Amino acid sequence: MDFDLTEEHRVFQKFIRDFAEKEVVPLIEEAEEKNVFPKQLFKKMGEMGFLCPRYPQELGGGGGDKITECIMVEELSRVNAGIASSLMLQSGLGTQPIYRFGSEEQKQKFLVPAIKGEKISAFGLTEPDAGSDAASIKTTAVRDGDDYVINGTKMFITNGPICDYVVAVAYTDPTKRGEGINLFIVEKGTPGFSVSRKLDKVGNKSIETGELVFEDCRVPAKNMIGEKEGGGFDMVADTLISGRITYGSRCTGTAQAAYELSVQYAKERIQFGKPIIKFQATRFKLAEMAMNIDIMRSYTYRVAWMYDQGKKVRKESSMVKLFTSETLQKILSDSMQIHGGYGYMMEYPIQRHWRDGRLFTVTEGTSEVQRLVIARESGF
C-alpha cells in the first residue's frame, strides 16, 4: 500500500500553498474585520482550476481526485478557516448535487459557471428548527403547472448573503418523512427568495452566513434536481458523505496553523531564563500535536482514496469528521495554553484559529450525530 502523495498531488500542493500565501493572506485582516468575503477569489481560483479541483476538465475543473480537493481545503484552512469554508462549499455542497444528479441543462447553466467562479453557490438544508434531524425540515415545494412554489426558511447558510443560487432542500410530499424530499436550484433575484439577515458569529468571520427565506417563491420545475419527486434525501446523504471527508482537511489545516504558531511562540517566549520550548511540559504538548495532526491527515487521505475507489464510506466519513474535529479541540486548547495570556489577546492570531475551530464539532453533522452514524453503520 502506497501512502505517498503522487507527483501531481505534490505539484498541486505547492501551487495552492503559494496561492494561499500570496493571494489569500493579504485579504484576511479586512475580511475578518468587516465580515465580508473577498469574492474576487472565486474568479481567480476558477481561472486556475483550483476552485473545484476534482471535477472534470471539460467542465472547467482541475480533473483531480478527492485527495486533490482535500489538499486544497487543508492549505486554505491553514491560512484562514473562514475563507476556506466559502471556497470549500463551492467545491462540494453547493455543486456536487448538480454534478452527481443534475440534468445536462442544469450543469451548463449552474455547475460550469460555478466551477469557473462566475457564480457563487450555497446549500440550503438547515432550518431554525431542523439541524441534526434533517428529515424534520418544514420547507415545502408544491407543484403548480410548470413551477414549484417554495415556502420555508433556511438558517446558518454559508455563502447565503452572496450566492447567485442556492440548492434548497424541500418536501414535495410532507407525508413521507425523509422520502418525500427534493432539491431545487433557486436563483438570486427570484421573486419570493430573500436573505432576511446576515448572521454575526463568534468565529469564521470571513464567511458570509445568512438566513434565507422563501415566500411563495416560484421556481421552474426544470430546476428540480432529479427526474421525479422524492429521492432527495439520498442525494443529501451522498453530498454529506463527501463533505465530511473534506471536513477532515479543514480540521487538519486549522490544526497545522495552530501547531506552527505554537512552535514559533514557544521558541520566542522566554521564562525562567530560557525559551519555553525547552521545558518538558511544552515539548510534550507540541509532540502530541504533531502526532495527532499526522494521524488526522493520514486518515483523511485514506478515506478520500476509498471514496475515489467507489467504496462505501458512510461510516468512515463520519469517523473522519468526528476524529478530526474532536482532536482539533485538544490541539487548539493546548495551543492557547502555550501562548498563555497573550493567546487571549486579539492581536495574536492563535485566538482566531481557536474561535474558528470551535465550530467544527457542530456544523455539517454534530459529533453526536457522527457517533450515531458510526454506531448504526457498525450494526449496533
Quickly list DSSP for 151-173.
EEEEEEEETGGG-SEEEEEEES-
Say which of 33, 364, 368, 377 is annotated catalytic: 364
CA gap 303, 351 in Å, rounded = 30
Cα gap 303→93, rounded to integer Å:
18
Q: Which cell numbers in the block locate residue 135? A: 428529515
Contact between 45 and 114 under an 8 Å Cβ cutoff? The reply is: no
- Whole-angstrom CA distances from 222 to 127, 212, 236, 244 are 24, 21, 19, 29
| Residue 34: C-alpha distances to residues 25, 38, 375 (Å) | 15, 10, 42
21 is catalytic: no
CA distance 356 to 117: 25
Q: Beta strands of 162-208 (E only): which ranges?
A: 165-171, 181-187, 193-198
Residue 132 amino acid letter: S
Return the biggest CA–CA distance within the chain: 79
Do residues 41 and 83 lie in contact, with contact meaning Cβ atoms separated by under 8 Å? yes
Go through the chain and tell me how many residues it has: 380
Q: Which residues, in sequence order, are bridge partners of residue 209?
A: 158
List residues bridging with 219 in a β-sheet: 148
Residue 231 makes CB contacts below 8 A (sequence gap 6+) with: 179, 181, 182
Catalytic sites, residue numbers: 364
